[in-house]
Structure 1
Amino acid sequence: MEKLLIVLSLGFIYSVKAKNIKQLDTLYANEIMTMALFFPSDIKQGITGSDNFVFTYNREKEQNLGLLKAIKGNPSNLLVITTDGKVYSYILIYSEYIDDLNRFITVNESIGDAKRVLKKEVEANKNLKKSIPENNSQDLLRRSCESLLKLPEEKNIRKKEGGIVLSLKNLKYHGNNVFLQFEIENKSKVRFDFDYLNIFKVNGNKKRNASYQEIRLKSLYTYNKPQHIIPTTKAKMVLVVPKFHLDKREKLEVQLQELNTTRKIILDWR
């Protein structure tokens, strides 16, 4: 009888502990249908653990809608942080058939709060603003660029050409300056020798020479400019230019050129 009571007691303790553990829900996805996930608040960041699952959301304008797709492969996981600091985590599994293509997520599904992380980001933003000087001294511009690299990446505008991927990861306005953070990834089998990275304001269509205009933005400071990028590696750099404004017909164009070759990547966006 005593042994039975011990067993029952242990079982009760185990069940109480098990109730305190947050069980992760499972989401199913495939390459044919798109699973729509509606969160209670706008999405700040979303990450999948494996490349065979893709989670997309609006990085330019915060929205609460995320889209999930997958190709056949091993199970993975999804981590989402919303603008109110809530953290959501799910198991991801590939399935050829999906019962429900729309999932409305509630706050109760949150596994925790990322307010500490958000607080660090706020502090980093404050440090960035404090460190950007009005007189554009080289030392203070350098520290400002270092602060920018500590912030979360808010953009992912990218272009791939000849095995080289050029991406804009962050763009910050402050005072009379604009800070642009770029990432250069070498997916080719040949070393990339950096020559220059220039930014232009473009107006009109290149096919119509009479209406096409290209104005280069003066570079005030370049931080962490790479010399060589070997295969399967990445390099991050920050370019500081004077404050600019784009009208409806204008766009930005970034030109990345390799030294002594014709390999060139042109990235543009509005």
Structure 2
Amino acid sequence: MKTHYIQITLLALLLPVLVIAQSTKIGLAKNGTKLLVFPSEIDFTVLGDPYNFVEVPFDKKGSKYGNLIIGLQFSLSSNEQSASTNYSVITEEGTIYDFQLFLDPSADNSTIRIRPEMGTMSINGNPGKRTNLQQAIEMAEQNDSILPPKHYYKEHSPKKEDSDVQSYQGDQQPLTQELYESDKEEYIRRKCYYNQFNKGSIVRYFSRKDNIFLWLKEVYYDHDELYLLFRLDNEETIDYDVKLIRTSIGTNYRKSSSNQKTPFPADHRYKIPKRVKGNTSNHFFLVYDKFTLDKNKNLVVQLDEINGNRNITLEIDRNQINRPKKF
């Protein structure tokens, strides 16, 4: 593994940039080491500020996992009270991961497992590309998550089993216009069921608390409904118990102290989990009647934990809501 102390702007000029997303922020305390574990071997790294921030490579230490792990520290010799820098990691498969490092006295030293979807761009044109085996493993983990045995698809509607969606032959039942007109709730339920494990095309749109990640995977549009597909990743060892998921429309005026949130509940909810076991994932849908946002508003998704403080807030901007993918 090679380390280059150059600005990331120079790197961007040298590589064919195909996909760009905002960098992941990582806070570092003045003592301890934070480990990043990557899905494939590290080829080389770029650290913008080698004076206040320190890399701890493990590829020369004889471990078979050394090429997958990098350690990060804030320099003990630094007198800075506030510092930040860019940091990029390029893996052997050509995926580039961008991070923003900053001094955070309250940061813990928990290990962060980097997922392929967190890649900001790819030299070969496939950001965050996963092998078929990785996708199969991920699917198995999702199926093992603890979910409600039945699901509400609209408030006060009766609960139904997922098994009701499939015919006795196990084939998908057709999603017809007749079904939509006669039983819209059933149509939406089947639509969610058939598409709950879609990979999605939205790259690196997430919020996190410690190692709990809430990802927006896709925004779909069909008939008069918007379908928002999420994935909740629990990369901690302790289970994550969901207290509630609430959504609102929030204003995002810059430099304003009067930004407000207006409750905006989903019209249909599919597979909202009760509990996500440690080191597993869960997909779920929030479905809304068609709406759009102006440039000063976001859809705010808030996830709260039972008897815990690992609460997550994800703000979804108008570019995602107003440009859905057609089902």
Q: Which has the higher contact order (CA 8 A, sep 6+)?
A: 2
Is 1:179 aligned to 2:227, yes or no? yes
Deviation at 1:232, TM superposition (A): 1.0
Maintained 8 Å contact 1:223/1:239:
yes
Contact 1:180 1:240 (C-alpha < 8 Å) held by counterparts: yes
Whole-Å separation in 2 of the counterparts to 1:130 and 1:29: 58
Change (3 A) 1:225 1:104: closer
Q: 1:37 aligns with which of 16, 20, 25?
A: 16
Question: Displacement, 1:139?
Answer: 2.2
Equivalent position to 2:292, from 230, 245, 257: 245
CA, structure 1 residues 133+206, in 2 after alignment: closer, same or farther (shift >3 Å)?
Answer: farther
Q: For the aligned residues, what is the CA RMSD?
A: 3.8
* 2:214 maps to 1:224: no
Q: Deviations over 1:80-132 (max 9, x none)?
A: xxxxxxxxxxxxxxxxxxxxxxx899xxxxxxxxxxxxxxxxxxxxx778698
Once the two structures are TM-superposed, the CA of residue 150 in structure 1 deviates from its matched residue by 5.0
The Cα shift of 1:174 comes to: 2.2
Q: Does 1:190 align with 2:238?
A: yes
Partner of 1:159: 207
Task: Give distance in 2, aligned partners of 1:218 and 1:77.
Answer: 41
Change (3 A) 1:230 1:169: same
Change (3 A) 1:190 1:51: farther
User: Do 1:132 and 1:144's aligned partners in 2 also have CA atoms closer than 8 Å?
Assistant: no
SS of 2:304's equivalent in the other structure is strand
TM-score (ref. length: structure 2):
0.45
Residue identity over aligned pairs, in percent, reads 21
Note closer, same or farther for the CA distance 1:151–1:231 as it changes in structure 2 (3 Å cut): closer
3-state secondary structure, aligned to 2:226 = strand
Residue of structure 1 equivalent to 2:316: 269
| Distance verdict in 2 for CA 1:163–1:206, change over 3 Å | farther
Residues 220-266 of structure 1 show CA distances to partners (whole Å, capped at 9, x for unaligned) of 22112212111111111111112111011111211011123232100
1:133 alignment partner, SS class: helix
Question: Is 1:70 the equivalent of 2:86?
Answer: no
SS in 2 for 1:139: helix
Contact 2:247–2:264 (CA<8 Å) still a contact in 1? yes
Please name the residue that 2:40 is paired with: 50
The whole-number CA distance in structure 2 between the counterparts of 1:142 and 1:194 is 21
Cα separation, 2, equivalents of 1:196 and 1:134: 31
Q: What residue in structure 1 maps to residue 217 of structure 2? A: 169
**1:38–1:104: 8 Å Cα contact kept in structure 2?**
no
Name structure 2 gaps, 5 residues minimum. Answer: 20-37, 45-87, 96-122, 126-173, 318-327
Give 3-state SS (helix, strand or coil) of 1:37's partner: coil
Q: Indicate conservation of the 8 Å contact 1:160/1:265, yes or no.
A: yes
Change (3 A) 1:258 1:130: farther
Q: 1:175 to 1:104 in 2, by over 3 A?
A: closer
Structure with greater proportional helix content: 1
SS in 1 for 2:192: helix
Distance 1:216 1:247 in 2: 17
Equivalences for 1:111-126 in 2 at 5 Å?
Answer: none
Normalization by structure 1: what TM-score? 0.53
How many residues are paired up?
175
Q: Contact (CA 8 Å) 1:131, 1:140: kept in 2 or not?
A: no
Would you say 1:255 and 2:275 are equivalent positions? Answer: no
Q: Deviations over 1:140-160 (max 9, x none)?
A: 221110233354411131111
Whole-angstrom CA distance in 2 between matches of 1:29 and 1:176? 52
The residue identity in structure 1 corresponding to 2:185 is Q
C-alpha spacing 1:176/1:188, structure 2 compared with 1 (3 Å): same
User: Structure 1, unaligned stretches of length 5 or more?
Assistant: 1-27, 43-47, 55-67, 79-102, 106-126
CA distance in 2, matches of 1:131, 1:261: 45
Distance 1:170 1:192 in 2: 23
Q: 1:213 pairs with 246, 253, 260, which one? A: 260
Give the structure with the higher percent strand. 1
Task: Give the letter for the 1:162 counterpart.
Answer: D
CA distance in 2, matches of 1:245, 1:175: 15
